[in-house]
């Protein structure tokens, strides 16, 4: 079952995808890689998990740190590598940032020291299908440089400023 739901944020429309139990996608409308897990003909339906996501997003955009996490499910066709990167994203605290290189080192340590490329990590981060809730916007380039974000650099900067102001 593929369902969708829309949320209106201060940064524009957000489309969510769900499978009935979990959020499987969250994108700013029109962003790069939009709808990768949405399915061909999703039904527009306000599932309980969408209500949880709406509550989470409302708190987040008010500058509050949500004290819960809506259920999320990564696409089954995603690589083990991408899933591992996305799991690391979930560990980045609100108001904090990490670099692609730091994520690569963390992933290398998890994998028994096997070298991991920051570029490969960056590709997985860029294809994160559940923006905001899985906080890919908290990842920066080397030296803390603000780098690409599928939702747009302006949005990334806004989100990081929001979090810094309320952390």
The set of catalytic residues is: 136
| Distance (Å) of CA 55 to CA 68, 112, 121, 131, 151 | 10, 39, 30, 16, 21
Phi (first) and psi of residue 50, to 5 degrees: -70, -35
Q: CB count, 10 Å around CB of 67?
A: 7
- In 3-state terms the chain splits into helix, strand, coil percentages (rounded to 5) of 40, 15, 45
Q: How far apart are CA 149 and CA 139, in angstroms?
A: 9
Angle at 32 between CA 81 and CA 24, to 5 degrees: 55
């Amino acid at each position: 079952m593929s369902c969708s739901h829309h949320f209106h944020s201060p940064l524009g429309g957000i489309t969510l995808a769900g499978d009935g139990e979990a959020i499987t996608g969250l994108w700013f409308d029109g962003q790069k890689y939009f709808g990768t897990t949405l399915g061909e003909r999703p039904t527009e339906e306000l599932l309980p998990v969408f209500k949880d996501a709406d509550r989470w997003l409302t708190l987040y955009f008010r500058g509050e740190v949500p004290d819960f996490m809506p259920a999320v499910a990564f696409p089954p066709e995603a690589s083990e590598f991408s899933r591992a990167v996305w799991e690391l994203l979930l560990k980045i605290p609100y108001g904090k940032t990490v670099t692609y290189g730091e994520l690569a080192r963390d992933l290398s340590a998890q994998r028994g020291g096997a070298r991991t490329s920051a570029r490969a990590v960056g590709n997985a981060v860029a294809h994160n299908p559940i923006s905001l809730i899985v906080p890919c916007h908290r990842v920066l380039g080397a030296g803390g440089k603000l780098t690409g974000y599928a939702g747009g650099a302006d949005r990334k900067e806004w989100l990081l400023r929001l979090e810094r102001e309320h952390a």
